[in-house]
Amino acid sequence: MNNKDIDFLPREQLRALQLERLQDTVRRSYEKVECFRRRMDEKGLKPSDVKDLKDLARLPFSYKQDLRDYYPYGLFAVPLDEVVRVHASSGTTGKRIVVGYTQNDLEMWADTTARMLTSLGVTEKDVVQVSFGYGLFTGGFGLHAGAEKVGATVIPMSSGNTPLQIQTMIDFGATVLCCTPSYAMYMAEEVGKMGVKDQLSLKVGIFGAEPWSENMRHKIEEGLGIKAYDIYGLSEVLGPGVSCECQAQAGMHVREDYFIAEIIDPETQEVLPEGSEGELVFTSLAKEAFPVIRYRTRDICRLIPEMCPCGRTHLRMAKPQGRTDDMMIIRGVNVFPSQIEEVLLRVCGDKITPNYQIVLDRVNHNDTFDINVEMSPSFFTDDIKSIECLERNIVESLRSALGIGAKVHLVNPNSIVRSEGKAKRVLDLRKDKI
Amino acid sequence: MLIKQLSVFLENKQGKLRAALQVLADKGVNISALSLADTSDFGILRLIVDDPEKAKEVLTETGVVVLISHVLAIAMDDVPGGMAEILHQLADAELNIEYMYACVGRQSGKALTIMRLDDTKRAEELLSKGKHGQVNPSDIYRL
């Protein structure tokens, strides 16, 4: 089947394909993944019980915690010989989460991002600048493979060094830009300051990995002279390409031949009626190395039941509206307060965690990340050098645990505002600015 | 002689120093000497006061972190070379000064200095043998 046609497959046929692939995924997972088999057994279910797509709702959920418990390879459904790539991202505490891909998985992944690019009018004539980070983060490689598959010319720029990013865009004639929306916003401003907008050849921007608003979209579109599209993905499920907007800019099409999206009530865990808002749950249908079944994303979201004007039959998801846990997205990186707590406990060498507050803001369209830590008699000394050393240790340990830099400020005891005796851990001032 | 010094943790923000000193003023604590060491984020206010224990108590009540430690007070001849002579002695004994600050003395012909060294106790022993370091406690705590 032509990969373009599958986006327009009548829903009947799409559902038949989903069922066939779901049965296969459940069978493989049951045979190879101990964690899934145990949960199925606990429910008294066998793979053969999946007779209809409706039966998906009977299957057990999977969680981010599983990736920690089975770190690093315990959830893989193939021997490591068949795994050709791993990616990783920060987990809730200390340990990272690791995901793996077989050769077929990489090809499937490339297919998702290629179809997405195609749906946005990108062809072999385009020059795609990938300014998502390359490395353990899935962003860079995910877009890269799809752009190559489309036959476009790829500039594997990675993130950072804005003047060079802009110069490259101009010199290499980039027509497509992929990065985080806040970075796009920053680049748009720099382009404005440098007065080089008319030297750009950009027409399409693909932005994701963090929340952004319609207001930001308009500013980016205006500043770079492009159409800006939203992309969604998470490494546990695949990486970028799980879903993406089409030219209608009205919701992100889930690649339903590869994934089934459900919306559940996070409390009752029941599947909610079509169109309701709730927690987004994904099941992979074709992944070999790391299949996921009913993976709880913790993203709060809505599926759009109406057909899209573009004609693609695959369901769209609206932009996630929040989280069911306390995860923060800072400069595109997922951060949990528990990670910060762990570092403070370790570095301050105290039996109790010092009081702290995370302050997030957006300055010049970039996330600022500050952590106020209350000074305590147990680690105060008369020696400036040793206090500065403590501060530096916190900064460095945070960087190594989170992968991003934070500014640490030591503040007076009891200066962090408490409500009902409990300090508010996260002060997010970005909400009105994105 | 060794004397008690208060170290107070202060955020490097407007009004923090004033607040701490106001508490001491309100409670009738008199300051003999002070120094303020600062970084971009925080500072350490070091104080010699007439009643260190009381000062610690009233400052702690306001929620700041306070530490009492011992530093060396030296009275030297108030003549050119007075300080240099002390430093010679310390250097010869391979003692290293971590910080020092001056305070105004009332004893005529003497200048007062507060010092912390890598080995403050040994410095005190060394200097107490010579003609320096003979400080009258009342000169320090109540100038």
Set out the domains of chain A in order of their start, with CATH numbers: 5-325 (3.40.50.12780), 333-433 (3.30.300.30)
Residue B143 lies in a domain: no
> Residue A1 has what pLDDT?
47
Type of residue numbered A207: F
Contact state of A382 with B10 under an 8 Å Cβ cutoff: no
> Residue A352 has what pLDDT?
60
Report the SS3 class of residue A190: helix
On whether any CB of chain B is under 8 Å from the CB of A395, the answer is no
Pair (B65, B75) in one structural domain: no
On whether any CB of chain B is under 8 Å from the CB of A391, the answer is yes
Set of chain B residues whose Cβ sits within 8 Å of the Cβ of A411? 11
Residue B87 lies in a domain: yes
Q: Is A245:A231 a contact under the CB 8 Å cutoff?
A: yes
Domain of B27, CATH number, reads 3.30.2130.10
Closest CA relative to residue A220, chosen from A189, A194, A247, A244: A189
Nearest-angstrom CA–CA distance, A384 and B118 = 14
Res. B133 pLDDT band, cuts 50 70 90: low
> Residue A155 has what pLDDT?
98
> Residue B143 has what pLDDT?
47
Pair (B43, B101) in one structural domain: no
Q: What are the CB-based long-range contacts (under 8 Å, 24+) for A213-217? A: A213/A434, A215/A434, A216/A181, A216/A185, A216/A434, A217/A181, A217/A249
Pair (B63, B88) in one structural domain: no
Residue B140 lies in a domain: no
Nearest-angstrom CA–CA distance, A64 and A42 = 20
Residue B49 lies in a domain: yes
Report the SS3 class of residue A231: strand
Cα A393 to the chain's mean position, in Å?
Answer: 28
Pair (B49, B105) in one structural domain: no
CA distance B11 to chain A (A): 6
Pair (B6, B64) in one structural domain: yes
Res. B109: pLDDT tops 90: no
Pair (B58, B19) in one structural domain: yes
Of B15, B50, B69, which one is at a domain's C-terminal end? B69
Chain position carrying tokens 């019980």: A49
pTM for this entry: 0.77
In this structure, the number of other CB atoms found within 10 A of the CB of residue A412 comes to 21
Pair (B34, B58) in one structural domain: yes
Residue B131 lies in a domain: yes
Of B10, B41, B67, the CB nearest to A382: B67
A301: β partners: A278
Pair (B6, B63) in one structural domain: yes
Quote the percentage of chain B above a pLDDT of 70.
Answer: 88
Set of chain B residues whose Cβ sits within 8 Å of the Cβ of A415? 11, 63
pLDDT (tens, 9 = 90+) of chain A, 434 residues, equals 455 689 999 999 999 999 999 999 999 999 999 999 999 999 999 999 999 999 999 999 999 999 999 999 999 999 999 999 999 986 555 578 899 999 999 999 999 999 999 999 999 999 999 999 999 989 999 999 999 999 999 999 998 899 999 999 999 999 999 999 988 988 999 999 999 999 999 999 999 988 888 888 999 999 999 999 999 999 999 999 999 999 999 999 999 999 999 999 999 999 999 999 999 999 999 999 999 999 999 999 999 999 999 999 999 999 998 889 888 989 888 888 888 888 888 888 765 667 889 999 988 888 999 999 988 888 888 888 888 998 999 999 999 888 889 999 998 888 887 766 666 788 999 876 66
Of B69, B89, B113, which one is at a domain's C-terminal end? B69
Residue B141 lies in a domain: no
Residue B28 lies in a domain: yes
Contact state of A375 with B9 under an 8 Å Cβ cutoff: yes
Cβ contacts below 8 Å, chain A against chain B, sum to 48
Of B22, B50, B69, which one is at a domain's C-terminal end? B69
CA distance A212 to chain B (A): 32
On whether any CB of chain B is under 8 Å from the CB of A350, the answer is no
Paired tokens of A352: 């109790």
Set of chain B residues whose Cβ sits within 8 Å of the Cβ of A378? none
On whether any CB of chain A is under 8 Å from the CB of B10, the answer is yes
Nearest-angstrom CA–CA distance, A85 and A145 = 13
Which domain, by its residues, includes B57?
A: 2-69
Q: Is B113:B73 a contact under the CB 8 Å cutoff?
A: yes
> Residue A96 has what pLDDT?
82
Identify the closest residue of chain A to B65 by CA–CA distance: A377
Identify the closest residue of chain A to B99 by CA–CA distance: A383
> Residue A278 has what pLDDT?
96
* B83 against B130, higher pLDDT: B83
Interface with A, mutate which of B11, B45, B67, B70 (most A CBs under 10 A): B11
Of A380, A384, A391, the CB nearest to B65: A380
Pair (B59, B90) in one structural domain: no
Q: Is A260:A269 a contact under the CB 8 Å cutoff?
A: no
Pair (B46, B81) in one structural domain: no
Contact state of B11 with A410 under an 8 Å Cβ cutoff: yes
Interface with B, mutate which of A350, A388, A410, A412 (most B CBs under 10 A): A412
> Residue A417 has what pLDDT?
77
Pair (B26, B79) in one structural domain: no
Closest CA relative to residue A258, chosen from A274, A273, A275, A244: A244
On whether any CB of chain B is under 8 Å from the CB of A386, the answer is no
Interface with B, mutate which of A371, A380, A382, A386 (most B CBs under 10 A): A382
A362: β partners: A367
| Total domains present in chain B | 2
Nearest-angstrom CA–CA distance, A116 and A317 = 14
Pair (B80, B64) in one structural domain: no
